[in-house]
Structure 1
Amino acid sequence: MTATATASPYQFFDVQVLRTEHITPAMIRVTLGGPDLPRMASGGRDQRIKIFLPHPGQEAPVMPDTDTGDATEWYADWLALDPAVRGIMRTYTTRELRRDPDELIVDFAVHGTAPSPTDGPATSWARTARPGARIGVLAPVDEENGAYDFRPPQDTDWLLLTADESALPAVASILETLPPGLPTRVWVEVHDLADRQPLPTKADAEIHWLTQEGATRNAIRGADFPAGTPYAWVAGESATVKAVRRHLVTERGFDRKRVSFSGYWRKDTTTDELIERGETA
């Protein structure tokens, strides 16, 4: 895959694994490198990227023709490829985009340290990824792009963040960049308390770890919120996200325009099933 200039704010990148590590029993950190990474940008703390994984037996994912650098029609071009051989697409968060050296950090949520029959393609790949393994990435080349949601208005007095393990990398990135002293209340669902990880921040943050799936709404129902104008960022399993947003807007009086919400996954439904139904890109 050749990365060249494009009018699109996004570009395909051919990257390879530099190293991997388990940062918790349920999270594998993959560090990726490639000659074109200096062009990659990240505009938000929850910056979304698309990764394209090879099928078993492939050395690299089969991708749309990227020699022109035109990523404006990437989804239609990818759909037109044979599903049996085209790169397996998933959406992830840029945990960090480092410079000197240029490295892309992506955290993969997994369930336990051992392979499981319930592992999806991305989990299986992350468990076995070794230095040199190649994948494709569709990522922004402009800092200002439409693939991030954390955009608190300037008059925000305090923040509310909720997530599960799938959105934990985004929460970690958000917390790292908050200004000193900003009141921030955080609820994160994990499968086990062993899956907690350090979340450094200069904000005045209260972080609550929950171990019951879907427990966030009940946890915040009785919580005392700081005074002032809030901004909420809610991400994770789709049904939980909708329930939390409904509670904040209808029961807590949040302005719906100040609640950013995103379903990162849907219980009992695979990404491939959503793609087949035309419900995700």
Structure 2
Amino acid sequence: MTDSPYRYFDVQVLRTEHVTPAMIRVTFGGAELSGMAAGGPDQRIKIFLPHPGQDGPVMPDTGSGDTADWYAAWCALDPSVRGIMRTYTTRQLRRDPDELIVDFAVHDPVPSPADGPATSWARTARPGARIGVLGPVEEENAAYDFRPPQDTDWLLLAADESALPAVANILEKLPQGMPTRVWIEVHDLADRQDLPTEADAEIHWLTREGATTAAIRGADLPEGTPYAWIAGESATVKAVRRHLVGERGIDRKKVSFSGYWRKGTTTDQLIDSGESA
């Protein structure tokens, strides 16, 4: 047995669909998915993609089932053949049948030389394609951040397309009538999604990169004790947090923030620097 709240899952594509021009939804199946836990609404998972010409990703030996040192084991593999690791959010974990849904933001509907490995894979994914997933086996785990305290009176959510699946999950799970203010940056208004919620939510869609901070700075926010959740491009996330804590006076302990990516820096560079483990 392992003390780790995570394990590797071998999954395969069941179907794909374009939710919007720049968002591809991939539904995965696998015999072991019954053991995966849903976790929090912004639950992070690691996916491992095959290199071109591989039938599936090369993964660390998990014969013992122990994934406590998974990152060191993955780093020890030859980078030219090991599974290409990326971090995504569980959009949904369904039962009967067991299915894992992951939304891939491709940013531009048209294939581009600038596409990263995950974008290229998602564009061409077909039923039967195999990937690896490191996911939770315990509902309570460290790979999610949305944890509003019990004294929260209202919520602030700020994100871009990379964090849109997490925002959608959060909104779906909020209690009826919870005052919630949401700002989401997308590349085009065609990339807006329906975001069902029972909360009292005001959702603002922005199409200018980096516009979130200015939009929140000019907003009238509710009275009471807030909880803020911010995710997306690293510089924007830091700017929004700086505004909320430094200018609005919100307790820093009530602001959860996560840089999902950094402009001008590839995911592989972040992994090599140890910032995206």
What TM bracket, shorter-length normalisation? over 0.9
1:108-257 → structure 2 map (5 Å cutoff) = 108-257=104-253
Residues in 1 aligned to 2:137 and 2:274: alpha-carbon distance in whole angstroms: 26
Match of 1:34 among 30, 35, 49: 30
> Following TM superposition, by how much is the alpha carbon of 1:111 offset from its aligned partner in structure 2, in angstroms?
2.1
The equivalent residue for 1:11 is: 7
Count of aligned pairs between the two proteins: 277
Residues in 2 aligned to 1:113 and 1:210: alpha-carbon distance in whole angstroms: 18
> Following TM superposition, by how much is the alpha carbon of 1:275 offset from its aligned partner in structure 2, in angstroms?
1.4
Secondary structure, in 3 states, of the residue corresponding to 2:67?
Answer: coil
The equivalent residue for 1:51 is: 47
Residues in 2 aligned to 1:134 and 1:213: alpha-carbon distance in whole angstroms: 34
> Following TM superposition, by how much is the alpha carbon of 1:150 offset from its aligned partner in structure 2, in angstroms?
0.0
> Following TM superposition, by how much is the alpha carbon of 1:68 offset from its aligned partner in structure 2, in angstroms?
1.0
Residues in 1 aligned to 2:158 and 2:12: alpha-carbon distance in whole angstroms: 32
Moved over 3 A (4+): none
Residues in 1 aligned to 2:175 and 2:273: alpha-carbon distance in whole angstroms: 41
> Following TM superposition, by how much is the alpha carbon of 1:6 offset from its aligned partner in structure 2, in angstroms?
2.7
Residues in 1 aligned to 2:109 and 2:178: alpha-carbon distance in whole angstroms: 36
The equivalent residue for 1:98 is: 94
Match of 1:85 among 81, 85, 90: 81
Listed one character per residue, the Cα deviations across residues 237-258 of structure 1 (whole Å, up to 9, x for unaligned) are 0000000000000000100000
Residues in 1 aligned to 2:233 and 2:164: alpha-carbon distance in whole angstroms: 12
The equivalent residue for 1:280 is: 276
Residues in 1 aligned to 2:58 and 2:270: alpha-carbon distance in whole angstroms: 21
Q: Alignment identity in percent?
A: 81
> Following TM superposition, by how much is the alpha carbon of 1:42 offset from its aligned partner in structure 2, in angstroms?
1.8
TM-score if structure 1 supplies the norm length?
Answer: 0.98
Where structure 2 has 5 or more consecutive residues not aligned to the other structure, the ranges are none
Residues in 2 aligned to 1:38 and 1:137: alpha-carbon distance in whole angstroms: 13
RMSD: 0.6
The equivalent residue for 2:60 is: 64
Tell me which moved more, 128-137 or 6-15.
6-15
Listed one character per residue, the Cα deviations across residues 114-145 of structure 1 (whole Å, up to 9, x for unaligned) are 21111000000000000000000000000000
Residues in 2 aligned to 1:109 and 1:279: alpha-carbon distance in whole angstroms: 21
Residues in 1 aligned to 2:168 and 2:128: alpha-carbon distance in whole angstroms: 27
Listed one character per residue, the Cα deviations across residues 213-255 of structure 1 (whole Å, up to 9, x for unaligned) are 1100000111011111000000000000000000000000100
Listed one character per residue, the Cα deviations across residues 251-275 of structure 1 (whole Å, up to 9, x for unaligned) are 0010000000000000010111111
> Following TM superposition, by how much is the alpha carbon of 1:43 offset from its aligned partner in structure 2, in angstroms?
1.4
